[in-house]
């Protein structure tokens, strides 16, 4: 991938599901590198969700970090709103450099004990707002990138794509994100646009703390394995600027390993450990055989 011209305007990014958690951290990190970041989500005021955080608070934090935050309320379950988002980006910026697909309808019931048929059926919604919504966002983002033959589409994922975590819905979501990156890369390869899936480790967020507090005996160890939500954003920035990015397109990469590759340390100088070491797992291999 050609490296962006240092004299060019600041990169334009869209981070979906950025009111809180991973999306918020990624948006702020990209802002610290000078990006203009469109922050999407549904939370506009306190009480809109069970956890704190709004798109406006994240946009302000992006600006405070050194970039420019633009809050846009988007229900990623409504395709027309997603289409309108990218039409707005195109009209206001004329381009899009980075898309981070992170929006996901994570139910608090996902981590409840029990088999999948004993949990509320509503947790399957993360295959709509989460998996399907990432396809829709990429569908509308791709033409903006293809037109300039430049760009990076990222899917936030985790090692649960290859081992059991919380049940089949969670695993299907993560595996689907990895597969989207792999197959979109095939369609994008002639246009110098890259697609990658990034496995994040446990993130130090309000949601994870809620999980730990629900059963400290079972989950307390996660507190020692966490990554800050911002770290993935710094990794994405390094990937975007890597001159060999197109050679990696289609891969699922482990965030902690990319941090080592690019010399990125988390807050307080901590170096998160790869799940390849802690869980003895690795991303699935995508075979090169193509049928069109």
Q: Which amino acids are annotated catalytic?
A: 170
* CA distance linking residue 203 with residue 214, whole number of Å: 16
Q: Which helix (H) or strand (E) holds 251?
A: none
133-148 and 168-188 are packed helices; what angle lies between their axes, rounded to 10 degrees?
20
Within the chain, how many helices (H) and strands (E) appear?
A: 11, 7
Terminal Cα distance for the chain, rounded:
25
Report yes or no: 110 and 26 within 8 Å, Cβ to Cβ. Answer: no
* CA distance linking residue 250 with residue 272, whole number of Å: 24
Report yes or no: 278 and 41 within 8 Å, Cβ to Cβ. Answer: no
Cα R_g (the chain), whole angstroms: 18
**Nearest to 155, CA basis, from 194, 125, 121, 117:** 194
Report yes or no: 140 and 91 within 8 Å, Cβ to Cβ. Answer: no
Report yes or no: 231 and 205 within 8 Å, Cβ to Cβ. Answer: no
Distances (CA, A) of 18 to 118, 150, 159, 210: 30, 23, 21, 19
Report yes or no: 41 and 74 within 8 Å, Cβ to Cβ. Answer: yes
């Amino acid at each position: 991938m050609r490296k962006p011209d240092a004299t060019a305007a600041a990169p334009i990014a869209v981070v979906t599901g950025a009111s809180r958690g991973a999306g918020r951290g990624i948006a702020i990190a990209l802002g610290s590198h000078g990006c203009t970041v469109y922050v999407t989500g549904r939370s506009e005021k306190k009480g809109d969700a069970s956890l704190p955080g709004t798109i406006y608070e994240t946009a302000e934090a992006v600006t405070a970090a050194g970039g420019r935050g633009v809050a846009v309320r988007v229900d990623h379950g409504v395709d027309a709103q997603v289409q309108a988002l990218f039409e707005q980006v195109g009209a206001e910026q004329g381009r899009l450099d980075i898309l981070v697909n992170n929006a996901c309808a994570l139910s608090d019931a996902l981590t409840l004990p029990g088999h999948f048929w004993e949990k509320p059926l509503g947790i399957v919604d993360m295959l709509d707002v989460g998996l399907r919504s990432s396809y829709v966002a990429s569908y509308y983002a791709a033409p903006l990138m293809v037109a300039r033959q430049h760009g990076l589409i990222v899917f936030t994922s985790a090692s649960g794509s290859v081992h059991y975590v919380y049940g089949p819905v969670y695993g299907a979501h993560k595996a689907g994100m990895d597969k989207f990156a792999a197959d979109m890369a095939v369609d994008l390869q002639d246009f110098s646009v890259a697609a990658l899936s990034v496995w994040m480790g446990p993130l130090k967020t309000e949601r994870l703390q809620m999980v730990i507090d629900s059963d400290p005996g079972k989950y307390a160890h996660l507190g020692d394995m966490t990554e800050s939500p911002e770290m993935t954003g710094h990794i994405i920035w390094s990937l975007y600027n890597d001159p060999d990015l197109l050679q990696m397109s289609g891969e699922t990469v482990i965030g902690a390993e990319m941090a080592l590759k690019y010399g990125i340390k988390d807050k307080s100088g901590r170096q998160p450990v790869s799940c390849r070491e802690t869980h003895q797992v690795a991303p699935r291999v995508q075979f090169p055989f193509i049928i069109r």
